[in-house]
Amino acid sequence: MPLSFEFTARKLVYGGEALGHYQGRVVLVPRALPGERLEVEEALTAKGVIHARPLRILEAAPERVEPPCPYFGRCGGCQYQHLRPELQSAAKRETLRETLRRIGHIGTATWDAEIPVYAAHPWNYRNQAQLKVALQPDGKVRLGFFEAESHRLVPIDACLILSPRLNAILAELRRPDWSERLAGVAPFSEIELLADDRDEEVSITLRGSFDRARAFDDQGWSGLAEECLRLLPGVTSVAIERGRAFRVFGKPALSYAVGDFRYQVSHGSFFQASRFLLPELVTAATSGGVDAAPANRDALALDLFAGVGLFTLPLARGFGQVIAVESNPRSAADLAANAQAHGLSNVRAVRQSAFDFLRRFARAEPDLAVLDPPRAGVGMPALKLLAGVRPQRIHYVSCHPPTLARDLAYLVERGYRLESVELFDFFPQTFHIESLARLTVT
Ligand SMILES: C[S@@+](CC[C@H](N)C(=O)[O-])C[C@H]1O[C@@H](n2cnc3c(N)ncnc32)[C@H](O)[C@@H]1O
């Protein structure tokens, strides 16, 4: 018999749960709000922390709203639909500040400025989706998203945070004839969609654990790809991904415009997943200091973790030279092509890990280093090398506050001063926090 008890939520924590206590132990409960009393049931206890599920709300917070999505609570995509969007941003700001304080020891003594929040439109903002595919015992294919912390599929008809175009494609793929097409060709496990900035053209990547012996030029693949191009609204490029190889049909890549620049994004390359706030993030991450002086011939900017060059191209306008480093071969190829397509001869695109690049980098004191690592953060080995190179300013774009806090603590210890932290609420309804920290050398 699972333990059930009364729970009072104290605060929201990174991950989306509300934290409280029961008999001296920490309790985490999803879909609860600070100040609320709930009856909850223990789901799992790990490392002394009770993870409980809400059974009944005994006293609701005034901030609570009815979640508009019928899948909320089952689908693992959203955590905050029960909280008004403007309060979600405020809660994330508090979470970010608390994380910087707790893990980074960045608090009142070193830095206590406001964290400005840029809020995106709360719905239909995602330009990307990773639809999960499950083949049922009846031979039919179901599409949807996973439950939180699980590989159990929640079949989905529509998703309120996906762009209209992606929802139109999802609606089409839910038709029975598509179930037959997908089931007939291969055991796909995921369909990835990326829509362009106008939400008109879409690229699709189909992936799964395919039989390695199966020829890449098999008629089945091309037949399915042709049908995707012909029947799915807006789809202009289709790829079958097998291991590290891609077979592409239709246009070779998607073209995505942000500000003055247009980026080629190939299948398998990284691109930001929100349609809104991208120009604001790019401006904030690439501006300040030398950019005021027109093309200072000596000024050098490093763009580590550069992707397809989202920040590289605007940086090349304000700096004499930009060295952009990206380890993923497909993103790195797009990066080089994007710089070339814009005639930016002052960009050097380097296909390497940030660590390997910094190990051999001889020039001291670049004017700016833009860092935009994955969730794991920059990490100590590369960060030590970077601190030795001593960029005059660092702009750190982060999608994961705990690793940001860890890395900032190290940079502060190595003589950097934290100037500002801004929060870009790219992903309303979810717990995700995207932020930009700016530092200068002291
Ligand atoms: C969060 S994305 C940012 C990309 C780009 N700045 C943007 O905003 O579109 C992180 C990028 O870092 C790349 N990456 C991951 N580990 C890396 C490493 N150790 N060295 C260099 N690049 C890496 C990934 O392939 C990805 O393109």
Nearest alpha carbon, ligand 1 atom 25: 328
What is the Å distance from ligand 1's center to 293 Cα? 28
What is the Å distance from ligand 1's center to 302 Cα? 13
Residue 423 CA: distances (Å) to CA of 77, 128, 405: 20, 21, 14
Ligand 1 pocket: which of 326, 350, 424 to mutate (most atoms within 8 A of CB): 326
Whole-model pTM over 0.85: yes
Using a 10 angstrom Cβ sphere, with 0-12 exposed, 13-18 middle and 19 or more buried, the burial of residue 288 is: middle
Please give the pLDDT value at position 374: 98
Nearest alpha carbon, ligand 1 atom 1: 374
Ligand 1 atom having least distance to the Cα of 356: 20
Fold equal for 1-63 and 94-120+274-441 = no
Nearest alpha carbon, ligand 1 atom 18: 353
What is the Å distance from ligand 1's center to 306 Cα? 5
Any idea which residue has 């004017």 for tokens? 367
Ligand 1 atom having least distance to the Cα of 353: 20
Annotated domain spans of the chain: 1-63, 94-120+274-441, 128-256
Ligand 1 atom having least distance to the Cα of 382: 19
Q: What average pLDDT is seen over the chain?
A: 93
Nearest alpha carbon, ligand 1 atom 14: 305
Nearest alpha carbon, ligand 1 atom 8: 310
- Catalytic center residues: 399, 434
With beta carbons less than 8 A apart as the criterion, state whether 354 and 327 touch. Answer: yes
Identify each DSSP E strand in 128-273 by its residue range: 128-135, 141-146, 153-155, 188-195, 202-208, 235-242, 245-250, 253-258, 261-266
Nearest alpha carbon, ligand 1 atom 27: 307
Phi, psi (deg, nearest 5) at residue 144? 175, -155
Helix (H) or strand (E) holding 401: helix 401-413
Phi, psi (deg, nearest 5) at residue 369? -125, 125
pLDDT in tens, 361-404: 987 789 999 999 999 999 999 999 999 999 999 999 999 999 99
pLDDT in tens, 154-195: 999 999 999 999 999 999 999 989 988 888 776 788 999 999
Ligand 1 atom having least distance to the Cα of 370: 6
pLDDT in tens, 116-153: 999 989 999 999 999 999 988 888 889 999 998 889 99
| 342/339 Cα distance (integer angstroms) | 5
Please give the pLDDT value at position 287: 86
What is the Å distance from ligand 1's center to 370 Cα? 11
The amino acid that residue 315 corresponds to is: L
How many other C-beta atoms are found inside a 10 Å radius of the C-beta of residue 297? Answer: 8
pLDDT higher at 340 or 215: 340
With beta carbons less than 8 A apart as the criterion, state whether 40 and 27 touch. Answer: yes
Ligand 1 pocket: which of 264, 269, 305, 335 to mutate (most atoms within 8 A of CB): 305
| Yes or no: domain 1-63 corresponds to CATH 2.40.50.140 | yes
74-88, 90-104, 176-190, 327-341: segment of lowest average pLDDT: 176-190
What is the Å distance from ligand 1's center to 190 Cα? 22
CATH number of 94-120+274-441: 3.40.50.150
Ligand 1 pocket: which of 327, 398, 434, 436 to mutate (most atoms within 8 A of CB): 327
Please give the pLDDT value at position 226: 94
| 437/110 Cα distance (integer angstroms) | 14
DSSP string, 140-172: -EEEEEEBTTS--EEE-S--TTB-HHHHHHHHH
| 125/281 Cα distance (integer angstroms) | 15
With beta carbons less than 8 A apart as the criterion, state whether 265 and 271 touch. Answer: yes
What is the Å distance from ligand 1's center to 45 Cα? 35
What is the Å distance from ligand 1's center to 22 Cα? 41
What is the Å distance from ligand 1's center to 23 Cα? 44
Residues 6+ apart with CB under 8 A from 345: none
Residues in the chain: 442
Ligand 1 pocket: which of 269, 270, 355, 407 to mutate (most atoms within 8 A of CB): 270
Q: Find the residues whose C-beta lies inside 6 A of ligand 1.
A: 270-272, 305-307, 310-311, 325-328, 331, 353-354, 372-374
The SS3 call for residue 94 is: helix
pLDDT in tens, 270-285: 999 999 999 999 999 9
pLDDT band at residue 109 using 50, 70 and 90 as cut-offs: low
Nearest alpha carbon, ligand 1 atom 4: 307
Please give the pLDDT value at position 249: 96
With beta carbons less than 8 A apart as the criterion, state whether 15 and 431 touch. Answer: yes
Ligand 1 atom having least distance to the Cα of 281: 8
Predicted confidence (pLDDT) at residue 40 exceeds the cutoff of 80: yes
What is the Å distance from ligand 1's center to 308 Cα? 9
Nearest alpha carbon, ligand 1 atom 19: 353
DSSP string, 316-375: HHHEEEEEEEE-SHHHHHHHHHHHHHTT-TTEEEEES-HHHHHHH------SEEEE---T
Any idea which residue has 């005021």 for tokens? 292
pLDDT band at residue 220 using 50, 70 and 90 as cut-offs: confident
58-62, 216-220, 293-297: segment of lowest average pLDDT: 293-297
CATH number of 128-256: 2.40.50.1070
Predicted confidence (pLDDT) at residue 323 exceeds the cutoff of 70: yes
Q: What would the mean pLDDT of 251-273 be, rounded to a whole number? A: 98
Between strands 153-155 and 188-195, the pairing is: unpaired
With beta carbons less than 8 A apart as the criterion, state whether 63 and 84 touch. Answer: yes
Predicted confidence (pLDDT) at residue 214 exceeds the cutoff of 80: no
In 3D space, the residue among 393, 384, 414 whose CA is nearest the CA of residue 319 turns out to be 393
pLDDT in tens, 410-442: 999 999 999 999 999 999 999 999 999 999 999
pLDDT in tens, 13-22: 999 999 999 9
pLDDT band at residue 211 using 50, 70 and 90 as cut-offs: low
Predicted confidence (pLDDT) at residue 295 exceeds the cutoff of 60: no
In 3D space, the residue among 441, 340, 347 whose CA is nearest the CA of residue 391 turns out to be 441
